[in-house]
Structure 1
Amino acid sequence: MKYIRATEENKEQIFQLVQDTITAIYPKYYPKEVVDFFCRHHSLESIIKDIKSGGIGVLLDDNRLVGTGSRKDNHITRVYVDPAFQGRGYGSYIMKCLEDEIALNYDTVCLDASLPASHLYECRGYRTIKHEKRIVENGAILVYEIMEKRL
């Protein structure tokens, strides 16, 4: 297993992995409008932008892309693991890699945690510093946590 910097060649695979994960997992926690919001938010264009900025990585296991992580400065912005590979420690490994990168320049790391991911982050030592909500399409409400961890 190795976590490496994403390249333009990875853009379609990353996009598909993120979209597949959102549509498989998020409907258990959020209404359709919120799921659609996340799908739009993690568009191919935003993934390409993150690749160009150098802030996105991919986790490969046996040369198969099984996960991805993104960061901007000390803010983790996207961590997704293929649903078929969840529960095997891949998400924790991606988080460790991102935290190690961030620790080179910052004392704290922050992230916006969706409901399905907040437990993973709590287990890694993150604490909620603020509860947030955002109204999306048709008045549906996206609820999420702003979390922080000292490195």
Structure 2
Amino acid sequence: MSIKLAQEFDFDIVKKITHKTIKEIYPHYYSNGAVVFFLNHHNDENIMNDISNHNVFLCYNSEQNAVGTVTIKKNEICRLFVLPQYQGNGYGRELADYAETTIAKHYDEIILDASLSAKSIYLKRGYQEIGYHSIKTDNNDYLCYDVMKKQI
């Protein structure tokens, strides 16, 4: 397993990992309006801007297949996704460890927005809830998530 900085030519794989994970996992936790909101939030422009700003990393398995991605912006972990077929194999943990170690070099706390599907994982990693948000989406659906913090 290895983690490498994503380059502009990696855009398609970062988008594929992000969108495939949202489309397959999030419907188990969120309404359709919220899933569409997530897909629109992680649009081409946002992904490419993060790659161009050297904020995006890719995780590769031993066969050198890209299986996950994480975006790190200052002291914030964003867009941490592992392809559904690779979940449960430690790739998400490796990406989270990598992001936390990277952030700890310059900051004393980590902030993230936790989806419903990831909240329990972050609680086990020592994060605490510091905020809750609810956004009204299409069809009068709501996207709910927690803002979480971890002291380093």
TM bin, normalised by shorter chain, reads over 0.9
Aligned length: 151
- 1:111 Cα shift? 0.2
The AA in structure 2 aligned to 1:144 is Y
Partner of residue 16, structure 1: 16
Identity among equivalent positions (%) equals 36
Partner of residue 49, structure 1: 49
Give distance in 1, aligned partners of 2:89 and 2:44: 27
On the 8 A contact 1:127/1:149 being kept in 2, the answer is yes
Unaligned runs of 5+ in 1: none
- 1:136 Cα shift? 1.3
On the 8 A contact 1:76/1:111 being kept in 2, the answer is yes
**CA-based RMSD:** 0.7
Give distance in 2, aligned partners of 1:47 and 1:83: 20
- 1:135 Cα shift? 0.9
DSSP-derived class of the 1:10 partner: helix
Give distance in 2, aligned partners of 1:77 and 1:17: 14
Give distance in 1, aligned partners of 2:119 and 2:31: 18
- 1:97 Cα shift? 0.3
Render the CA deviation track for 1:73-132: whole Å, top value 9, x for unaligned.
101111000000001111111001011110011000000000001111111111111121
Partner of residue 36, structure 1: 36
Give distance in 1, aligned partners of 2:77 and 2:37: 19
Give distance in 2, aligned partners of 1:137 and 1:67: 28
TM-score, normalising length: structure 1: 0.98
State the 4+ residue runs in structure 1 displaced beyond 6 angstroms: none
